[in-house]
Structure 1
Amino acid sequence: MAVPRGRLPLVAAVAVFLAFLCCRGEAAARELKVGYYAETCPEAEDIVRETMARARAREARSVASVMRLQFHDCFVNGCDGSVLMDATPTMLGEKDALSNIDSLRSFEVVDKIKEALEERCPGVVSCADIVIMAARDAVVLTGGPNWEVRLGRDDSLTASQEDSDNIMPSPRANASKLISLFAGLNLSVTDLVALSGSHSIGEARCFSIVFRLYNQSGSGRPDAHMDAAYRRALDALCPKGGDEEVTGGLDATPRVFDNQYFKDLVALRGFLNSDQTLFSDNARTRRVVKRFSKDQDAFFRAFIEGMIKMGELQNPRKGEIRRNCRVANCSPVASRVVDI
């Protein structure tokens, strides 16, 4: 039957109300600790790493995409798996936020991890913790450092496109804006530069850099902070009026986690404006970039510290352990609703 604009069918409205009641009473926040699943799901971390390794074998870029989910998740209301949630008729999800839409990818890898964990330990391992473990494993699998992750997070019951739009920076962001964003989350300048080093692996679209090549700051000219030979290479990759979905490596070794990213910034060969600005536009970040370009071990140590600190950002609201990372357990879209 036809439904008046702006009104839910009766059964759908009842389902939304029941979902609200159901989801209100989910588990409270828990203490994070190393080995959190040692008794309840002792194979959890092995399952995550094995699934990530298979994903990397299928598509090398996928693990870098999964690693970036931690940043996009934790910065918006804490590390709660909200970035994984699909939009519903009553919720605009973070996947459709300006910095995420057509950019974040490889959600299916998280789906596969969750499926394997639910088969082995149903209802135990949160999607938020999967993101944390998978991000660590993306680094390890591409040659970077290993570290112990603190686990025990709940999954959020909802997501917010608006919150993501208000928080997440664009590829055009400058160093000053990034410093302010990180400081608001109690993350230092060193944390900012080290965590930006996640761009040691992976690729980005021409869409993210065409303004740098042809109209930096509305000047109608390319970014002056760009090596001439590198700019010519990017001009060929991303010609004006060309396919903006084409991708290029974020550094010269996009499949290896190393400090080449920082060497490229010093050489004015940063792919994204938000990367190059760390060297070109701010003395505080420039000092750290130079140090990491010369000392890979220092970068690795700072990166581990930054990832752990970022992982401590928490959502104070009650949550749950989602059975499906894309939808809250009590969401009406989780089961079929019949219109009457």
Structure 2
Amino acid sequence: MQTAQTSGTRATCGRGGPYVSISGIRVSVGVSIGIAVAPQDGGEEIMRRADLALYRTKGEGRNGYRFYEAEMDERIEARRALSTELRGALDRNEFLLYFQPIVTKEGRIRAFEALVRWNHPKRGFVSPADFIPLAEETGVIIPMGEWILQQACVIAAAWPSDISVAVNLSPIQFRHSDLVLLVNSALQESGLAASRLELEVTESVFLEATPAIKTALVKLRERGVRLSVDDFGTGYSSLSYLRRLAFDKIKIDQCFVRDLPHEQSGAAIVRAIIDLATSLKMTVIAEGVETEAQRRCLLSLGCHELQGYLFSRPVPAEEANVLASQQGLRRGKIQAA
């Protein structure tokens, strides 16, 4: 162990890694390093390339180091080009909505989750895993999110009155837009009943639960809109928010469903979530259901609603309209695009 001490601050490095003790408070220290070497990595470009290597180190989990590689420049350029094209995609009408059914224990469609897709004129369909993070970084998620909300409500208004629509919200929408005003506008213009709109909020919102965010959630709830905690159990769960904000639903992340029924620890976690939600009078939805064995296991654990490829892949609005008009959903019989 090595220790250095100055002005009442004690820095220590031991088996648990480096940390600093300030007034009795232990503060962990982490280091991420990006390395570029002269002359092979250039002279004028060496700092920029070291920064690219640092960016990669942080992206891979921090507390490590990476040497610059030419491929890093290629990835940054590709990302920059995609970001530029994303900014004008909404004006060029390149976004469209797909819908994935959420079904009851009996297999009846209870709701559809609205999922945005980007149909690039040259690239074709761009993966949401690629463009959603970019949209959040660049702020495009604000107008995109407003468009998704408006379109989802308009489309859902044509469905039978017992079928709802679920729309995902980004934490950025809470910070940089008047979400309550946008929701009220979308409901009024579409004629959709507030009780048929479900807003899915990720647990990361709890980290930034400012008074403004709390107020927005309360106003939405009072408006009659349903609130759902998305990907429950994978982020920063706060049970106090489930009690104080009275969410209507909890959505179990597919990582807990994937290995059912064989993974006992996964089954135990799912059972605990279902028991908790049931005691709070909340509905539990399991996503990522792909096999009949998973469906049976989830139902035996008390799950209320299901979503996944076993029932249907996400489908365009036209096909969702057809499914919505049917009385039930036959597993394995859906021809999804």
Q: Which has the higher contact order (CA 8 A, sep 6+)?
A: 1
* More strand per residue: 2
* More helix per residue: 1
Give the TM-score normalised by the residue count of structure 1: 0.25
